[in-house]
Amino acid sequence: MRLSDITTAKTVIFTKNSGNLVAIQQGDQIPWNLKRVFFITTSSTEKRGNHAHVNGYQAFFCISGSVQLLLKDGISIEERLLNPLGEVVLVPPGIWVDVHLLENSTLAVFTDLTYDEKDYINTWDDFFKFKGHL
């Protein structure tokens, strides 16, 4: 997969005086079968991710604060800044993702696989082998 395979989806926001309802659903924003949702929160700046997936698709959505994604395909690097209730970034397998959560941020991650340690590529050497660069 290449960085050009990364797509975005708009959320549906229903606004009232009392607040917002933000909808993300399979078939509209998430084009694959949803199996797992997890949240990463931080009160200080934190770096997470730092891996790629062999088969797993991921969708990233900032709930609060700001989150910077650094996306790498082994040749190119792209940076995406996620702001609260903005777009959903859909990342296919084979893309290395570094996640930088700024202070007081919450990130939601939607995946098409349940947790499986074997699906993770955790080192650059393994990533470049997987991508066929070595």
Q: What is the DSSP string of 10-77?
A: PPEEEEETTEEEEE--BTTTB-S---EEEEEEESS-EEEEEEEESS--EEEEEEES-EEEEEE-SS-E
Q: Does position 46 have pLDDT exceeding 90, yes or no? A: no
**Is 100 a catalytic site residue?**
no
The total of structural domains in the chain comes to 1
- Specify the pLDDT at position 121: 97
Enclosing domain of residue 84: 3-131
Q: What integer pLDDT is reported at residue 120 of this predicted model?
A: 97
Tell me: the pLDDT tens digits for 63-103? 999 999 999 999 999 999 999 988 999 999 999 999 999 99
* Residue 111 predicted with pLDDT over 90: yes
Q: Is the pLDDT of residue 58 over 60?
A: yes
CATH number of the domain enclosing 69? 2.60.120.10
Whether residue 34 contacts residue 110, with contact meaning beta carbons closer than 8 Å, is answered with: yes
Is pLDDT of 134 > 80? no
Q: How confident is the model at residue 1 (pLDDT cuts 50, 70, 90)?
A: confident
Q: Give me the count of residues in the chain.
A: 134
Could you report the per-residue pLDDT of 113-123, keeping only the tens digit for each?
A: 999 999 999 99
> 51-73: b or e for each residue (b if 16 or more CB lie within 10 Å)?
bbbeebbbbbbbbebbbbbbbbb
Tell how strand 88-91 and strand 96-101 pair up.
unpaired
Q: Which of 51, 53, 100, 133 is catalytic?
A: 51
What distance in Å separates the CA atoms of residue 46 and residue 100, rounded to the nearest whole number?
Answer: 6
Q: Give the rounded percent of residues in the chain with a pLDDT score beyond 90.
A: 87
Judged against a pLDDT cut of 90, whether residue 45 lies above it is answered with no
**Mean pLDDT score of the chain:** 94
